[in-house]
Structure 1
Amino acid sequence: MARPACNRDPHFSGGDHQPGNPALVVNPSARHTHTMILLHDLASHGGIFGRDLLKTGRASSGKTLDGLFPGVRFVFPTAQRRACQALEGAKVAMWFDVASLRDPGQRQDLQHKGLCVSAREIAAILQWETKLVPPGNIILGGMGQGCATALTVLLSLGYRLGGVIGMSGFLPYQFELEMNTAESSSDDDDDDSMTTSDGHAASPRLDPVVKAQLFERSLLQLRNVDNPTKDKTSFGTPVFLGHGTDDQVVSVALGEQATVALRAAEYQVHWRRYANHGHGYKAPEEIDDIVEFVRTRVGLEPREG
């Protein structure tokens, strides 16, 4: 059987040097300045997602993301194959297990193991890419479950990224995260003296973004950073979240809830709803918004000529 034409493109490679499962890598056609790591949805594949996005995800100009940003190296990892409870145990590529496709909050205990493993895999890819470009020149993101995984990784990081892009996604353990970032806020407000009633030094007040990091790293079974402070988190990483109002796979309400939770954790989130659109990215409107986000928030100018 003949291989797809894009496999013969010299800018495409198997990504065998990447940690974890092989990733589809689209090498830059100009000097490498930035990297974009994008995670596929449940039951998809890095190669399928990447090729579709770079073929059908066209901006109003008619150009694709790799054409608009020739200095970007695109990395599309593939998740491990796991038995999916929502699909009666069928094995599919997914970042974590789910009990219900419509309600990702159902049986969250099923998600935990996959999230822990996947977060480490994505962190390893991030570490690899930081050998090539600075962390501030790396954009992480994904669609559906890939978006959910990217947001989880973002909250656990100890450094700022260039940006995060989420399409038709949600935030795992969103309610628990909000409870942890908000807990003891009244006590913190009253603790101006930074001392306890017996004269001993009180624990320093923690910023919401630090509380979010501590929650996520505990959830992912990662060691906490020493003396956690805001400058040891991913604070300052801009986030773009886009969602179709008619999404029947991941409700737009879940995207809105993720936006609220991230903003409560002090992240700047650019939220966009797309009318009369279902699951997945909407071209050209959402692609235009992503390009503008990369231009204004990451500081990478698209090549329009």
Structure 2
Amino acid sequence: MAYQDSSLSNPTSWSDLGTSNGKKFGSELLETGVNSSGRKLPQLLPNARFIFPTAKPRRSSAFKRIVLTQWFDVARIPDPEYRKETQIQGLMESVVELEQLIRQEASIVSPQNVVIGGLSQGCAMSLSVLLVLDFPLGGFIGMSGWLPFRKEIEGAIQEDDDDAEIDDDNPFATSKSVNEFELQARDPPLKALTFERDLLSLPPLANATKASTAQDTPIFLGHGDSDEKKPYQQGEAAARTMQAAGYEVVWKLYHELGHWYKIPDEIDDIITFVKSKVGWVMSEG
């Protein structure tokens, strides 16, 4: 979304990396995303610009090799852990494309005024992109999603550096000393970034610190408790892992909701998140 109102000091952008067909999903979200007062997202944010990119056509392992537009391949829809190596190529290609889009928007409106997110695979792709960024964004909104390679990311975060010991009382200790840079490399957000960039074959960041991550990006994750395509436990686990990586996460579970967003409850919660965590101004009219 991009605020064009000259009375506002900072324009804002919200990119939805949400679905394989950005035009279709975007039109539906802007039309049906209604809050409890009956107002649609464009009415709540009249000066905002929405961006809905579309993924490239890729062969689908889950649907007998037919070609679908998707950010990355998934071998089994309800279980993204199954044959997850099929996801790597698409994740690698898509993260380059989407990071470029985000940087382009951030150069126009500043990173603090950019919000990304998506639904289902778009949420998963967006979380992967967030983890490789070397700067924070205004916010993240994910619906009915999951975190690819979550267990591996969590393992990287929890990995201990047992071979490095610190002896503050003895500056001449013979054990391996740890400098400030090495200490910062132990920070969970930096561990997550380092792992994700290596997983997706992105070059490592030189002299990276916790400040060169997207850790300060607040995250909203919503999920339905009746979601059969992506059981809510996957979204809940993604929330826990992102919290373990040092991110602030708002997790919402919606009763009797399938693989979609709940109207008006989830729209209300998203608007509250945007106001309180991102700091955007809502239209009163």
Q: TM-score if structure 1 supplies the norm length?
A: 0.86
Q: Deviations over 1:233-290 (max 9, x none)?
A: 1111000000000001101000010011000001000000000110111111000100
- CA distance in structure 1 between the partners assigned to 2:223 and 2:233 by the alignment: 9
SS at match of 1:297: helix
Q: Following TM superposition, by how much is the alpha carbon of 1:201 offset from its aligned partner in structure 2, in angstroms?
A: 3.8
Verify: 1:227 aligned to 2:207, yes or no.
yes
1:37 corresponding residue in structure 2:
15
Measure, in 1, the Cα distance between the counterparts of 2:211 and 2:121: 28
CA distance in 2, matches of 1:245, 1:90: 30
Task: Give unpaired runs (5+ residues) of structure 1.
Answer: 1-25
Is the CA contact (8 Å cut-off) linking 1:239 and 1:267 kept in structure 2?
yes
Q: For each residue in 1:15-72, what CA deviation from the matched residue of structure 2 results, as whole angstroms up to 9, or x when unmatched?
A: xxxxxxxxxxx8767458111000233xx40000100000001111211112111222
Which residue, out of 90, 103, 108, partners 1:132?
108
Alignment equivalent of 2:82, drawn from 89, 94, 106: 106
Which residue pairs with 1:22 in the alignment?
none
Match of 1:291 in 2: 271
Tell me the SS of whatever aligns to 1:124. Answer: helix
Q: Output aligned runs, 1:158-173, within 5 Å.
A: 158-173=134-149
Give the whole-Å Cα distance in 2 for the aligned partners of 1:114 and 1:105. 15
* Equivalent of residue 65 in structure 1, options 18, 41, 57: 41
- Residues 195-252 of structure 1, C-alpha deviation per residue, up to 9 Å, x if partnerless? 8963664352220000000000001111111111100111110000000000011010
Which of 224, 227, 235 is the equivalent residue of 1:244?
A: 224
Amino acid at match of 1:139: V
Identity over aligned residues, as a percent? 41
d(CA) in 2 for partners of 1:105 and 1:196? Answer: 48
Of 260, 271, 274, the residue aligned with 2:251 is: 271
Note the 1:172-211 alignment, pairs <5 A. Answer: 172-184=148-160, 191=166, 193=168, 198=174, 201-202=177-178, 204-205=182-183, 206-211=186-191
Change (3 A) 1:229 1:249: same
Structure 2: which 5+ runs fail to align?
none
**Cα pair distance change 1:247/1:225, threshold 3 Å:** same
2:15 and 2:215 map into 1 onto residues whose CA distance is: 19
Measured in 2, the distance between the counterparts of 1:222 and 1:283 equals 38
